[in-house]
Amino acid sequence: MDDVTDIYREYGDARLPPGQRETDDVPVLSKSGTPSWTPETWSFDVWGAVDDECTFDIDEFRALPSTTQRQDFHCVTGWSTFDCEFTGVSFPTIAARAGLSDDAVHVMFHALDGYTTDLPLSECLRDEVLFAYELDGEPLPEPHGGPLRVVTPHKYAYKGAKWVDGVEFLTETERGYWERRGYSASANPWEEERYG
């Protein structure tokens, strides 16, 4: 297992970002409850500024090269959970499958509950940004985003879309659900970038 919990060393050497409190559990936080889905109809789509738009069903997605990492999780409302073990497919793996256009600069994640969140492409092309389908060796529980969610240990957790079913590559900046509602677009926990 790769251990990347030291991502905080990039940002000032404090594992617990300023203004955060460590919790033992992983609370559930969703804008509107857990959406339903079925394995038969679920698909993950990659589109926009790419060479090859692609679609994966659930078995195809789980057959992609995967990684398991121990990560910390920081919610903008003030709690952090340490040492979550996520298994999934890295963002760079998906980007390489699709092939990025030269003018791709930004990314929008789309989810089954209508949630969206955005990041600059450069902030996504890191091995720690995972499309995760297991938590602590078990299938990712649905309240936490199963069958598939994004995790972004270098950002507040609203950058990690639960129930993710699509990633869109953009040639211009656009804003996601919370980013349009006053939360920070950059969301660096060590700089306390909570509000935009």
Ligand X SMILES: Nc1nc2c(c(=O)[nH]1)N[C@H]1C(S)=C(S)[C@@H](COP(=O)(O)O)O[C@H]1N2
Buried b (16+ CB within 10 A) or exposed e, 156-174: bbbbbbbbbbbbbbbeeee
- Is position 142 an interface residue for ligand X (rule: CB under 6 A)? no
Please state the closest distance from residue 65 (CB atom) to Mo ion, in A. 29
Task: Decide whether 58 or 187 has the Cβ nearer to ligand X.
Answer: 187
27 binds ligand X (CB under 6 A): yes
Q: What is the C-alpha to C-alpha distance for residues 132 and 87, in angstroms, rounded to an integer? A: 5
What x-and-dash track marks residues 56-95 binding ligand X by CB under 6 A? -------------------x--------------------
176 near ligand X (CB under 6 A): no
Q: Does 131 bind ligand X (CB under 6 A)?
A: no
User: For residue 85, what are the β-bridge partners?
Assistant: 70
- What is the C-alpha to C-alpha distance for residues 81 and 75, in angstroms, rounded to an integer? 9
CA 29 to chain centre: 14
Residue type for position 172: E
What single string gives the DSSP state of each residue in 80-124?
EEEEEEEEEEEHHHHHHHH-B-TT--EEEEEETTS-EEEEEHHHH
* DSSP code, position 97: H
Q: Which stretch binds Mo ion (CB under 5 A): 54-62, 93-101, 140-148, 153-161?
A: 153-161
* DSSP 8-state class, residue 143: G
Under the binding rule (CB under 6 A), the answer on residue 185 touching ligand X is no
Amino acid at 42: W
Per CB under 5 A, 115 contacts Mo ion = no
Interface residue with Mo ion among 158, 163, 183, 190 (CB under 5 A) is: 158
Residue 144 near which of ligand X, Mo ion, none (CB within 5-8 Å, type-dependent): ligand X
Specify the stretch interacting with ligand X by CB under 6 A; choose among 2-10, 12-20, 50-58, 109-117.
109-117
Task: Give the residues lining the site for Mo ion (CB under 5 A).
Answer: 29, 75-76, 158
